[in-house]
Structure 1
Amino acid sequence: MFAKQLQPPIFVKIFSVALVLTSALSVSSLPADAEKGRRKVVHVLEDESGAVIVQTAPGKVVTHRGGSITLPCRFHHEPENTDPARIRIKWTKVTDALQFEDVFVALGKQQRVFGSYRGRVFLEQAGPGDASVIIQNVTLEDYGRYECEVTNDMEDDTGFVNLDLEGVVFPYYPREGRYKLNYHQAEDACKHQDAILASHSQLHKAWLDGLDWCNAGWLEDGSVQYPISHPRDECGRKDTPAGVRNYGYRHKEDERYDAFCFTSKLNGKVYFLKRFKKVNYAEAMKACVRDGSAVAKVGQLYAAWKFQLLDRCEAGWLEDGSIRYPIVNPRSRCGGSQPGVRHLGFPDKKFRLYGVYCFRKSTDETAGGTKVTKTLKKSWPKWKSGNSLPVNATNVI
């Protein structure tokens, strides 16, 4: 019943809008006359027939992981008295150039949701010609490009919506050292740290925000790149321009690099566990469990630095056995003049003693909502060069 009909588009006209899930940082970038939540009306002239299509869609939507989002898609069909029960709406996610993942399909009153989208995707049903869907509890894996297809008997047409997430990109390498991960291992490493492999556009945005990293890492499309804000000889020659350096697409099994991971807002809180004495790794894990939490993952610490504005000048254990600490307001005694998450390497788990960062998952179902405040922008941390210290750094209180 839901088989795709591959026919050339004739009468069905479909209109979609690319959406960007933005953070509080972009609230101030809206036009002064754009009211919050106001729906804009766009008039579109339809070819030589003279028909006018009126499309309504939100402007910029402010949300992130855990929130809800509408993927807008409207259509006009001729003749206008076509039986609605004979119109099929299908949403798929474009996972590769020639690969698609089924998300949602509806034929009249019959609807079906697929895979991880079950229980989270619904038709908006805002009136005739509306094929928009609502995704609830947005996940990191929801990021990407979606196709909206509307079929009317033997005719069909498609439109695309780009779903983006506001978050933070961070470089990652394991205890084994630099350039130890093939593509699949890099993908797993990011997932284990509550993140996904970053896209090129996410890495480029991080570079615009000041990310400077001299080691190449995998991205989600299988390419290997790295961002340079301050060119220098040890990072591809000093006389080359700043930018995102690209090694191109590499062999996913045989070649090894670091990873660039991406994460978004947490449904919970990261905190430094206050204790009278420092502990080794095993003791740190037990301490967080006793406090009703778990040792924080690297991605969770970066998300807390970015969204929670966690600022702590104390080094602590993380789940992967590394020692890090987040700095929003730089001061000389806390690792330099730039904000960032300082990394002190992977010390001996048994004999080295530090504090610990714990993560407690929120029990509030609305914790991942879309509400943000404009005041957050003033202290929003951005990447700068030098935001990660050498392994042997000691300037920590």
Structure 2
Amino acid sequence: MLQVPLNSLQTKAKDFVGNKRKAGLKIRCFFSATGEDDTGAVIVQTAPGKVVTHRGGTITLPCRYHHEPEDVDPNHIRIKWTKVSDAFQFEDVFVELGRQQKAFGSYRGRVSLERAGPGDASVIIHNITLQDYGRYECEVTNDMEDDTGFVNLDLEGVVFPYYPPSGRYKLNYHQAEEVCRQQDAILASHAQLHKAWLEGLDWCNAGWLEDGSVQYPISQPRVQCGRKDSPPGVRNYGYRHKDDECYDAFCFTSNLNGRVYFLKRFKKVNYLEAVKACQRDDAVIAKVGQLYAAWKIQLLDRCEAGWVEDGSIRYPIVNPRTRCGGPEPGVRNLGFPDKKFRLYGVYCFQSRKANLAL
């Protein structure tokens, strides 16, 4: 095997970046610094692994830098944070040059530098959203020298399979994105689905993931789910045509800014009556993602079927027991009955703000 010295690669990389900058092109370097050299470079160091939080939380994405030599005017240092998607698309998050700062898009008002001391480029993100999940690039630039590091932001939460009232395999990629959003969720990533599989998720219908691939998790191999003699795992159909092909969706949601509860009533109601009943209780009918979050994170356990926002009938079981839908914990789904004539209970969601006002 041909071996090339690391310092030779670093020199060639710096020459390549410098030449491209002279040509007026923007270059992104997808390697992290592992040591120092004597070329006057900026050295960036980020935390290995990932940082974990939940929706609504505050998190610091760690990033530090230093120079060789160290006597550099701080006003000449540019710090830039960018979110990087799996398709290597870039979303600007925050930039600082000297005393000038700017946050971009949905990060406005939520992002600031930590400033724990010289060489600290760590950024703090407040009021974390589902869309904040992903990979971030920390780039530090001093005149013609720069370096980058990466931080992975993970969220605590739950993955759940979803199909609409029209039935299974009815969603193209864009429709899958939308139905997850409508149910207080986002399309899950492969890493999130794989983690859910490790925790026992078993689902025999293929669904879209956020990167445009179609996959499904199998914990108990069987004939109708890709051969009985195949090993357990996450089955992968690969990247599919986002406009023309239709599957289900795997959605991901996280912490709730409020609570889901089963509304106690003397009689069962149809869908429209269920919506009005939650409104009279200073709440709204719960979305599917909210019910899953309440089950997974708040450990909601209720052996009573009730309406949720999409017109389906569901109930959450943490402690499986007789007559409560089988031996495994989960959110039971009884399908989409007639909204006008079928009668059930209802699950409501009350935001924390509304709850404090009571």
- Scaled to the shorter chain, the TM-score interval is 0.7 to 0.9
CA distance change for structure 1 residues 209 and 135 in 2, over 3 Å: closer, same or farther? same
Q: Deviations over 1:28-67 (max 9, x none)?
A: xxxxxxxxxxxxxxxxxxxxxxxxxxxxxxxxxxx31100
Checking the alignment, whether the CA contact within 8 Å between 1:13 and 1:157 is kept in structure 2 is: yes
CA distance change for structure 1 residues 5 and 252 in 2, over 3 Å: closer, same or farther? closer
CA distance in 1, matches of 2:239, 2:115: 42
CA distance in 2, matches of 1:288, 1:80: 62
Partner of 1:345: 335
Where structure 1 has 5 or more consecutive residues not aligned to the other structure, the ranges are 23-62, 367-397
Give the number of equivalent residue pairs: 324
- Structure-to-structure mapping, 1:133-148, within 5 angstroms: 133-148=123-138
CA distance in 2, matches of 1:202, 1:102: 24
Asked whether 1:16 is paired with 2:46, we answer yes
CA distance in 2, matches of 1:180, 1:358: 27
Asked whether 1:113 is paired with 2:103, we answer yes
Checking the alignment, whether the CA contact within 8 Å between 1:66 and 1:136 is kept in structure 2 is: yes
SS of the residue 2:91 aligns to: strand
Amino acid aligned to 1:304? A
Asked whether 1:125 is paired with 2:115, we answer yes
- Structure-to-structure mapping, 1:139-288, within 5 angstroms: 139-288=129-278
Give the TM-score normalised by structure 1: 0.79
SS of the residue 2:296 aligns to: helix
Q: How many percent of aligned residue pairs carry the same amino acid?
A: 77
CA distance change for structure 1 residues 364 and 119 in 2, over 3 Å: closer, same or farther? farther
Amino acid aligned to 2:46? S
Partner of 2:281: 291
SS of the residue 1:303 aligns to: helix
**More relative contact order, 1 or 2 (CA 8 Å, 6+ apart):** 1
Asked whether 1:300 is paired with 2:290, we answer yes
Checking the alignment, whether the CA contact within 8 Å between 1:19 and 1:163 is kept in structure 2 is: no
Q: Deviations over 1:337-364 (max 9, x none)?
A: 1110000000000000000000001129
Give the TM-score normalised by structure 2: 0.88
- Structure-to-structure mapping, 1:89-108, within 5 angstroms: 89-108=79-98
Where structure 2 has 5 or more consecutive residues not aligned to the other structure, the ranges are 1-23, 34-38
Indicate the RMSD between aligned Cα atoms, in angstroms.
1.8
Amino acid aligned to 1:195? A
SS of the residue 1:333 aligns to: coil
CA distance in 2, matches of 1:221, 1:7: 21
Partner of 2:21: none
